[in-house]
Amino acid sequence: MATHTVTNQAPPREGVDEFALDLPLVEGVRRHGASWAEPELTATGQLVGSAAFQHDAELANVHEPELVAFDRWGRRLDEVEYHPAYHRVIGAAVAAGAHTAAWADPRPGAQVARAAQFLLLAQIEPGHACPVSMTHAVVPALQQFGSAALRDEWMPRLLSRDYAPDLSPGKTSALFGMAMTEKQGGSDVRANRTSAAPAGDGSWILTGHKWFCSAPMSDGFLVLAQAPAGLSCFLVPRVLPDGSRNPFLIQRLKDKLGNRANASSEVEFDGTVGWLVGEEGRGVRTIIEMVNQTRLDCMLGTAAGMRQATAEAIWHAQHRSAFGALLADQPAMTQVLADLAVEAEAAIASSLRVAAAYESDAPAQDEPFRRLATAVLKYWICKRGPGHAYEALECLGGNGYTEAFPLARRYREQPVMAVWEGSGNVIALDVLRAIAREPETADALLAEVRLAAGADARLDAHVAGTEKLLRAAQRDPASAEAQAGARRLTEALAVALQGSLLLRHAPHEVADAFAASRLGDVRGFLYGTAPARAATTIVARHAGAHGE
C-alpha cells in the first residue's frame, strides 16, 4: 500500500469564496459603486467555490448536450437534452441575476454588479454563460426597437429569476438566443439568404438555414432575414402564442473545440413565424445593440477564464515542491505566476470599466467611450485568452494537460470568445470605422487614458505613439495601409487603456509590472520573460492575501 501513498500533490481547490479571494474584482466592484451587491456576490463566490458546483461544471462538460430530433413515433421534437448538472448551473446563474438583474433594477452600479456575477459563474463553468449573456443582451434591443406588444409579452419573462428548462406553454420566464450567420456569408451577414415574408396579420414567415444558432433550447431568438425592404431583425419564439411549436428544425449540433456544455446548432426555418423588431431593412442596426452587449460579455468571460487559470496555477505552485522548494518560491515560476496575474488583473479592471460605461446613470462622455472601448478590449482581451490559459496549464505540468483538472477545459474554451461576436479582423476593422465615422469615440477613449498622464513615462510615450497611429488611420481609414495596420492600432489602444487603469487603480507593484512588460523596452514574447520587481507581492495578492 505504501506505493500508493500520495504526497507532494496540491489539495483540491474547493470550499473557497471565489469573490473574496479575487481582490481585483472586489476592488472594482467597490470602485464603480456596486458595493451594495457584495452580499449577493459573496454568496455566489461561495457557491462557485464549492466542491458540488465544481463537480456540476465537470459533469455538464463530460455529459454533453444531445439532439433529440424526433420522438419514438416519428414526430419532430427538435429538442436538446442536457445533463441535470447543466440545469443546476444555469439555474443558479439565473437565480443570481447574472442574466438580467441590471435591467430589472437599474440602480447605480447595477451593470458592474451583474458583470461581477457573470464573471464569477463563468469562471467555473463557461458553457452556460452563452444563453445567460444573450438573454442579458436582448433586453436593450427589445427596449429600444421592440413594439409595445413584444415588450409587454417578453420583458416580464426576461427579467424573471426563475429557470424552467422545458418549452411548455405558459412559461413565466425566458432565455434568449441569436441566429445571424449563414454558411455562405459568416460575419458578412448582408450575404444572408434566409427570407421573411409578411403573413398579413402582423407576423412574418421565415424560410432559410442558419449555420450557427447557439443555445437552441432557448425560448426566443433574434434572427436576421431578408425582407422586401432588406435585411431585417425578427423575434422568433420556440412556442407560438397558441401553445403550438414554431417550426424550428434543428439539423445538427456542432462538434466544437470547446464550449462543450453549451449546444450550438444549425437550424432550418420552414414556415417559421417571427415578429419584426425595429425598422424593416435596418436589421443590422437593430441587432448591433445586442451584439455590443455580448461583446462585453466575451471580455468578461475571457477575464473569468484568466482568473480561473491564474488562481489554479498559483494554488498548485503554492502546494507543490520541486528541487527542494515550493514552486511558488522559485524565482522563475514566481515571475510566470506574477505575469499571469497582471494579465488577469488588467482584463478584470478594464472589463469592469467598460461595464460601468453602460450604467443608466453613466456620464455622457461614457457613451462614445464604450462604443470604441468595447471593440478595442473585445479584440485584445479575447486574443490574449488562449495563450494565457496555456501558460497557466503548463504551471500544473502533466496534471494540467489532463481532463481531470479544469485548465485543459479552460484552454479549449478560451478561443471561442475571440471568434464569437466578431473575430479579430472584423473587430479591428470596426475600430477603424468607429474612429472615422464617430471621431468623438477616439477622443473619449484618449481622454480616459490621459487621466493617468504624468504617472509613468512609459505610458506617456506609448500614448503619444498610439495617437499618431490613430490620427493617421482617421485621415484615410479605407486605405490599404490603415486596414493592414488595424490590428496594431487596436492593440496599442487596448494596452494604453489597460495601463492607464492599472496606474490609477491597482497597487504600484501591479502597475509597474504591467508597464515594464507591456509598455517598456524590455519585453518578451511569452509570459514571465520581463521580470516583475515585486513578483512575490503580486502573486500573494492574486492568491487572496490582503495587505501583502
Supply the pLDDT for residue 1: 58
Contact 210, 181 (CB under 8 A): yes
Segment among 215-219, 287-291, 354-358, 447-451 with least mean pLDDT: 287-291
DSSP state of 225: E
How far apart, in whole angstroms, are the C-alpha atoms of residue 492 and residue 376? 9
Give the contacts of 502 (CB within 8 A, at least 6 positions apart).
Answer: 345, 346, 349, 510, 511, 514
Find where cell 488583473 sits.
Answer: 345
Find where cell 469615440 sits.
Answer: 441
For residue 509, pLDDT beyond 90: yes
Contact 379, 431 (CB under 8 A): yes
Supply the pLDDT for residue 122: 98
Supply the pLDDT for residue 482: 95
Residue 72 buriedness (CB in 10 A; 0-12 / 13-18 / 19+): exposed
Residues 289-347: tens digit of each pLDDT: 899 999 999 999 999 999 999 999 999 999 999 999 999 999 999 999 999 999 999 99
Supply the pLDDT for residue 400: 97
Q: Which three cell numbers stand for residue 304?
A: 473569468
Query: What angle separates helix 424-437 from helix 439-449, to the nearest 10 degrees?
Result: 100
Instruction: Work out the angle at residue 57's Cα, subtended by the Cα atoms of residues 114 and 406, and round it to the nearest 5 degrees.
Output: 105
Instruction: Please report which confidence band the pLDDT of residue 510 belongs to, taking 50, 70 and 90 as the band edges.
Output: very high
| DSSP secondary structure letters along 172-197 | S---EEEE---TTTTT-GGG---EEE
For residue 432, give Cα distances in angstroms to 66, 131, 191, 336: 41, 30, 22, 34
For residue 546, pLDDT beyond 80: no
Supply the pLDDT for residue 103: 98
How far apart, in whole angstroms, are the C-alpha atoms of residue 86 and residue 251? 22
For residue 547, pLDDT beyond 70: no
* More confident: 168 or 373: 373
For residue 71, pLDDT beyond 80: yes
Q: Which three cell numbers stand for residue 422?
A: 466578431
H helices present in 358-438, as ranges: 366-395, 406-413, 415-419, 424-437
Supply the pLDDT for residue 185: 87
For residue 407, pLDDT beyond 50: yes
Residues 476-491: tens digit of each pLDDT: 999 999 999 999 999 9
Q: Which three cell numbers stand for residue 24?
A: 481585483
How far apart, in whole angstroms, are the C-alpha atoms of residue 193 and residue 196? 10
> Among 325, 340, 327, 318, which Cα is nearest to 393's?
340
Can you list the domains of the chain with their CATH numbers? 14-159 (no CATH), 176-282 (2.40.110.20), 285-542 (1.20.140.10)
For residue 175, pLDDT beyond 80: yes
Give the contacts of 522 (CB within 8 A, at least 6 positions apart).
Answer: 516, 530, 531
Segment among 87-101, 179-193, 217-231, 313-327 with least mean pLDDT: 179-193
How far apart, in whole angstroms, are the C-alpha atoms of residue 529 and residue 527? 6
Supply the pLDDT for residue 418: 95
For residue 432, pLDDT beyond 90: yes
SS3 87: helix
For residue 548, pLDDT beyond 50: no
* More confident: 377 or 4: 377
For residue 532, pLDDT beyond 90: no
Segment among 5-9, 54-58, 92-96, 368-372 with least mean pLDDT: 5-9
Supply the pLDDT for residue 365: 94
* More confident: 83 or 521: 83
| DSSP secondary structure letters along 251-307 | EEE---SS-TTS-EEEEEEEEEEEEEESSTT-HHHHHHHHHHHHHHHHHHHHHHHHH
| DSSP secondary structure letters along 84-117 | HHHHHHHHHHHHTTTTTHHHHS--TTHHHHHHHH
For residue 470, pLDDT beyond 50: yes
